[in-house]
Amino acid sequence: MVESQVSGTVGKLASAAKAAAILGLALMCLAPRRTAAAEHPLTKDDVGLLLIGGASTDKMVALIRERGVDFQMNADLAQKFHKDGASDEVIDALQKAGEKWAAAQKNAGSSKEVASPARPAASGPLALPAPPAASSAPAASSAPAASPSTSQPVNEMGTAAPVKTKINDALAAADRTDKDSESPKVMAAAGHPAAGPAPDLSDPNPARIQQIVQEFATKETLFKEARDNYTYHQINKVETLDPDGHPDGVYQQEWDILYDDAGHRIEHVTYAPVSTLQRVIMTPEDLNAMRNIQPFVLTSTELPEYEIKYLGHVKVDQITAFVFSIRPKEIEKRHQYFQGVVWVDDRDLQIVKTEGKPVGELVKSKQENLFPRFTTYREQIDGKFWFPTFTMADDTLHFSDGPPVHIKEIIRYSDYKQFKSNVKIIGVAPTDQPTPAAPAKPPNPK
């Protein structure tokens, strides 16, 4: 999504002084970073992801003592981690681990500067996002999604809250902007007991973790092939919000995903009112994110493009799942990737939840194309595969030459039906190489 010409002009007049600083942060956030091996010290990003994902105090302290950290604590970091849900015990463990790291750096004669408590340490290459809010939008600048590591995620106040409560709160907020739509049944646990003894959430050994990654990528490959043989209905809704939180522009399209007589997947637009977005413009990359990034599928073919880091074994609603951080190893031009966290059902070894954002944001003709952080939930369809049924985002686009734009987005996937070869669709363009819809034309500056 790019900023409209009108808002861009206003932004140049209103915020030229801070454009360079914001752009620098955006570039820093986009820089690919190779994750450390499992035995390496925890980074600030790792700590933030674990906290936002709901890691318990005991789990956090154990990990910090076992692996150490590669930074020194200071007042700003302590405040940030407290906000993300860190207890005093976790802060104390981080403080001690940071002191050990600083001493080791000094003893080794490292030239790397160690931040003192009086001076904040340089922030990492990724800004940690807040816990997911509600509805969404296909183009916001934001950092990767949060990720859990053992128990429950944090709520908006930074304290522990049940995953189901978090999901229900998010869905309720989403439905405030989409009242006529029915909330989905999020991650109904087919085959998982609703009650009983506490589940085994022990961490697999490193060899088993690598095996799990290969196995769930294989399952995702099979799922992708299966999903390509299902028809379904997709609703895409994007809103921009004014400073009071009221919608001041809406884009909406509904598609029937069908197949022609040759088996090619096609999109039949069933509803497309005129867009009223004024401060941003929908781009082909936004539509691609709706098709391919937000219902993220990580196949065996795509696996080598990503760095996968195991984060923990958790209970999510009525299921138990392994949690993995996923980041692209490199970002190629004109190519979109997913960056964030996935929850993999520990029985079916399929992705059941995705939280992150598209990366590979493009700049064309001095226009920035930014995307939001989103959360996608899946449900088990036909008792075998987990299909995406609901995506939401609530994020702010920070353009370098204009004011920020608050955007919400809701995507709903419904009516999954297995494709029958005798179905014939005539007069609809295939989407194997989709021709993007013309972007909303910005108003002429007055």
Q: What is the pLDDT of residues 110-135, one digit of tens each?
A: 544 444 333 333 333 222 233 333 33
**Residue 16 near residue 294 (C-beta atoms within 8 A):** no
Predicted pLDDT at 234: 96
Q: Which range, of 33-47, 55-69, 99-113, 187-201, averages the lowest pLDDT? A: 187-201
236's enclosing H/E stretch is strand 230-241
Asked whether the predicted pLDDT for residue 28 surpasses 70, the reply is no
Q: What is the mean pLDDT of the chain?
A: 73
pLDDT in tens, 149-196: 333 433 333 333 444 444 445 444 444 444 443 334 444 444 455 556
Question: Lowest-pLDDT range, 20-29, 76-85, 382-391, 422-431?
Answer: 20-29
pLDDT value of residue 59: 83
pLDDT higher for 38 or 90?
A: 90
Give the span between the Cα atoms of 290 and 434, in whole angstroms. Answer: 13
Amino acid, res. 176? R
- 99 phi-psi bin (left φ>0, alpha ψ -120 to 50, beta other): alpha
Give me the mean pLDDT over the 405-421 stretch.
88
pTM: 0.58
Helix and strand totals (H; E) in the chain: 8, 14
Query: How many Cβ atoms from other residues are within 10 Å of residue 329's Cβ?
Result: 13
pLDDT, average across residues 204-218: 96
User: pLDDT at residue 235 above 60?
Assistant: yes
pLDDT value of residue 366: 66
Give tens-digit pLDDT for 281-338: 999 889 989 998 999 999 999 999 999 999 999 988 888 999 999 999 998 887 889 9
For the segment 345-397, what is each residue's pLDDT rounded down to a tens digit? 999 999 999 999 998 866 665 678 889 999 999 999 988 899 999 999 999 98
Q: 46-60, 117-131, 245-259: which range is least confident on average?
A: 117-131
pLDDT for the residue 124: 30
Q: Name the β-bridge partners of 272.
A: none
Contact 52, 156 (CB under 8 A): no
pLDDT band for position 81 (cuts 50, 70, 90): confident
- The pair of structure tokens assigned to 424 is 């014939």
- The domain segmentation of the chain, as residue ranges, is 35-124, 133-192+195-418
Degrees (nearest 5) of the Cα angle 134, 139, 141?
A: 90
Q: How far, CA to CA in Å, does 285 sit from each of 42, 292, 296, 417, 440? A: 34, 10, 15, 27, 14
Q: What is the pLDDT of residue 180?
A: 40
Share of the chain above pLDDT 90, in %: 38
Give CA–CA dist 402/167, Å, rounded.
33
Amino acid at 400: S
Mean pLDDT of 25-48: 56
Residue 13 has pLDDT above 70, yes or no: no
Torsion of CA 55, 60, 63, 68, to 10 degrees: 130
User: What is the rounded distance in angstroms from the CA atom of residue 32 to the CA atom of residue 305?
Assistant: 12
Per-residue confidence band for 435, with pLDDT thresholds at 50, 70 and 90: very low
Whether residue 430 is predicted with pLDDT greater than 50 in this model: the reply is no
Helix (H, G, I), strand (E, B) or coil at 83: helix
Helix, strand, or coil (residue 240): strand
Evaluated on CA atoms 45, 306, 337, 24, the torsion sign reads positive
* H or E, element range at 183: none
The separation between the first and the last C-alpha atoms of the chain, rounded to the nearest angstrom, is 23
CA distance 317 to 194: 9
